[in-house]
Chain A
Amino acid sequence: QKEVEQNSGPLSVPEGAIASLNCTYSDRGSQSFFWYRQYSGKSPELIMSIYSNGDKEDGRFTAQLNKASQYVSLLIRDSQPSDSATYLCAVNPQYGNKLVFGAGTILRVKS
């Protein structure tokens, strides 16, 4: 079992729709969770961080964390073509300082 799992996609949504990206992790004691966006040829860019159960909203982005289910998700409302990118889920395990990254989900927003 991979430590952090994401559906590789591509996930295709029409412009203006809600894009839902999902991530599961194996270390139940994980403390912190992050979503990164990576455009082709660019380095990862932090979008959201979440540390406690529930929802965290920032503009069009909402991160959701459920530690009991070991599940973290990212919702993008009013999706725009500029949101088309690879989204990486990263988890800090209970022990250690190294982030563990998922394989990433490719999102395509069609106008």
Chain B
Amino acid sequence: SAVISQKPSRDICQRGTSLTIQCQVDSQVTMMFWYRQQPGQSLTLIATANQGSEATYESGFVIDKFPISRPNLTFSTLTVSNMSPEDSSIYLCSSRSTANTEAFFGQGTRLTVV
């Protein structure tokens, strides 16, 4: 199983600012994903982080708001830009080694925007 380190674990940010979340996997993985989880809700996929190319965003999420980088097979970042209180949520990084295999999750970033 992959071990995923995600940081920061939590942050309180001012509206209008940006936060970058980092995700480091302990082995090379084919797929990395970013999710958002609102309190009491299930996981919502934000985007698939593609190594060496632009991320693939799900409906309702755009690159200007959630820019993603993935410079190699073990590392990705998600930036939450121009934050508003509606962005307060838990953000989760996930990886899969290949298709149809298990997904593993980082410990999550609890973001509060004030």
Q: Does A42 count as interface, using CB distance less than 8 angstroms?
A: yes
Q: Does B75 count as interface, using CB distance less than 8 angstroms?
A: no
Which residue from A46, A92, A101, A102 sits with its C-beta under 8 Å from B104? A46
Which residue from B48, B92, B101 sits with its C-beta under 8 Å from A98? B48
Interface centre among B33, B41, B92, B99 (most CB of A within 10 A): B99
Q: Are A101 and B99 in contact (CB under 8 A)?
A: no
How many B residues touch the partner, as a band?
A: 20 to 34
Q: How long is the Cα–Cα vector from A101 to B33 in the complex, in angstroms?
A: 13
Q: Are B103 and A99 in contact (CB under 8 A)?
A: yes
Please tell me which stretch of B13-21, B66-74, B77-85, B105-113 contacts chain A, meaning at least 4 of its Cβ atoms lie within 8 angstroms of it: B105-113
In the bound complex, residues from chain B placing their C-beta under 8 Å from that of A101 are: 42-43
A1 → chain B closest CB, angstroms: 16
Q: Are B106 and A97 in contact (CB under 8 A)?
A: no
B53 → chain A closest CB, angstroms: 15
Q: Are B105 and A92 in contact (CB under 8 A)?
A: no
Q: Does B31 count as interface, using CB distance less than 8 angstroms?
A: yes
Q: Mark A28-46, 1 if CB is under 8 A from B, else 0.
A: 0001101000000011111
Given A97-B96, A98-B48, check contact A46 B103 (CB 8 Å): yes
Q: Does B100 count as interface, using CB distance less than 8 angstroms?
A: yes
Q: Does A85 count as interface, using CB distance less than 8 angstroms?
A: no
Name B residues whose Cβ lies closer than 8 Å to a Cβ of A.
Answer: 1, 31, 33, 41-43, 45, 48, 92, 96, 99-108
| Further 7 A-B residue pairs, CB within 8 A, beyond A43-B92, A98-B45 | A43-B108, A44-B105, A46-B103, A92-B100, A97-B31, A97-B99, A104-B42
